[in-house]
Structure 1
Amino acid sequence: MLLVKVASTAVVGRLLGLSRDEIVNAISLAWVDGQSLRTYRHAPNTGSRKSWAAGDATSRAVRLALMARTGEMGYPTALSAKTWGFYDVSLKGEPLKISRGYGSYVMENVLFKISYPAEFHAQTAVEAAMQIHGRLAELGVGPEQIERITVRT
């Protein structure tokens, strides 16, 4: 989720109208923040964090951009600082290699569905909930009458 946080920080900074220097500061804060372990995505630790990890990274991006807007300093060598920079700590001294150029690839080629503010794998569950809500409302059944909902995927 580190790249989600870094990219989201840049986008949020732009949407907030930050200056170039403020956006650079915000992005450096995201790199310094680091990332969560991906263990929650793999056995034996697979868990519900999968459903909120991207939202968590994005909410942190908003916070970092807001901090930069109020003058929080950036870290010019967050990636390259000897011993403690991202390259040395996370990539064993190797620079970050991006295999694809920056551009519109994700928007044009990756399955992207924005019906609801949830990750892709949750979209069908939200769609089902919206349909069921409408049907239950027609029957006069309100949320207070529902004790539990189980979603199986």
Structure 2
Amino acid sequence: MQTLFGRPYAEVHPLTDREAVREADRWGLLERAKPEDLRAFPLNFMDMPGKYLFHCLRQLTWRVGPTASRVLSLLGSSFEEAWGHNRTHLVGRLEAAGQAGLAADYAGFYLCAWDFYRSGYAGSDAARQAVRHGVRVLEAGRRLAQG
């Protein structure tokens, strides 16, 4: 990671308690993927017309987005490695850590959501596929957090 302006983040805000970071990430995985929420999530949106599925994906994005970083943190990556890279890099790191299924669903969530966007929000199949990938990402993160 290269600092473009100012002092490096580690100097400004040193992260000395790596275990506290991992525990916060574990809590985030468990809290954002409660089983009752995951069971209800697809049912709330399965009969909606395509244009309303955008709302569903927005609700999933803030839950799915940090999952890769949280999982990498739990698997022992440093804060900088887990949280300091883009999604493409994180997918590769998940694959390298033996989490190929999670990596595929994580990438699938964003790729299907992108297809939905490119369809002008008319391609409801792409949105529904994104929802399936997103729920699987959250379920996998929860399983890993539970140990």
TM-score normalized by the length of structure 1: 0.31
Q: Which has the higher helix share?
A: 2
TM-score normalized by the length of structure 2: 0.32
Larger RCO (alpha carbons 8 Å, 6+ apart): 2
